[in-house]
Amino acid sequence: MLSRLITRIAPDVGWLPVSFANVYFVGRPGGKWVLIDAGLPGWAADIFAAAEARFGAGSRPEAIVLTHGRIDHAGSALALAEMWDVSIYAHRLEIPFLIGRSPYPPPDPTVGGALAFLSRFFPRLSRDLGARLRELRTSRVPGAPNWVWFFTPGHSPGHVSFFRDSDRVLLAGDAFATVNMDSWSGLLTGRRQLSRPPAPFIIDWQAACASARELATLRPNVVGCGHGVPSSDSDLPERLEDFAKRFRAPRRGRYVKQPARTDENGIVYLPPAPLDPVPFATAAALFCVGLALGAGYLDDEKRRR
């Protein structure tokens, strides 16, 4: 049962993987709590059941708070908000993408890596959280007074990360990851490794690098990201600092030299899309296969005659 998979990663912090994304429960049973991120569409019932197993039947969070609004982090937010009758909070620069005013900038499959290849086949879904949506205003996290949020753009325009200073717990969303999604083996095995955010969805590489470096200065003892198994190794602060120093933009990609520009209304400017050779190579390969099969069929016909 999914609710048994909730794992305590720090005092009053629970982790639940839902498909390939993570959600976090912040708070203790019998007290106030919040949900950080809401996973993919279709997971609301499982997250709801997990919450009841952790906090008790009939309990509900003070709020649902999003690191950002991409579909794997906000997909079940509205369904859960309606189940619990609570508000959903996000940074103001995420709001146009959460009310259907604008799509996110398209992914960049030319940046290279396993996830970039797969991104060619991901559907572009829009969502409208409507009247449930609220803007994060003060630096405090709604319903979690010991937590603050940091503005960490790059993966999305209004991405934020959450931090508790008392024990240095960091919930980083997609500011970076603890699994290498550029690697097929990383995707298949889920091996824990500090890695860059989901590369084809980074719309501003310079901002993404700066965000990772800022979070490294917090020297967290515990890190939970949007993808991958949370980490709490004794050398985590040093490894994160080293990772942030080495984090660089790739040599090629749509948003490497020029970022996408957005504002409170959504997309303002998109750099030109580079040539993506994979569809052409795939079509050429299928054409060659077709020719080979056709030639073989003709040879068989000649032999029969």
**What does the pLDDT look like over 20-69, one tens digit per residue?**
999 999 999 889 999 999 999 999 999 999 999 999 999 999 999 999 99
Question: Given this model, what pLDDT does residue 281 score?
Answer: 40
User: Which residues are CB-neighbours of 249 under 8 A, at least 6 positions away?
Assistant: 205, 206, 209, 256
Task: Report the distance separating Cα 56 and Cα 42, nearest Å.
Answer: 22
Q: How far is CA 71 from CA 65, 76, 226, in A?
A: 14, 8, 12
Question: Given this model, what pLDDT does residue 292 score?
Answer: 44
| Average pLDDT of the residues in 222-239 | 97
State yes or no: pLDDT of 15 exceeds 60: yes
| Average pLDDT of the residues in 176-200 | 96
Task: Report the distance separating Cα 263 and Cα 244, nearest Å.
Answer: 27
Angle between helix 44-55 and helix 77-84 axes, rounded to 10 deg: 50
Question: Given this model, what pLDDT does residue 2 score?
Answer: 47
pTM of the model: 0.89
Question: Given this model, what pLDDT does residue 6 score?
Answer: 86
**Residue 268 has what DSSP assignment?**
E
Question: Given this model, what pLDDT does residue 301 score?
Answer: 55
> What single-letter amino acid sits at 98?
L
Could you tell me if 66 and 37 are in contact, meaning their C-beta atoms sit under 8 angstroms apart?
A: yes
Could you tell me if 162 and 223 are in contact, meaning their C-beta atoms sit under 8 angstroms apart?
A: no
The strand pair at 21-27 and 133-135 is best described as unpaired
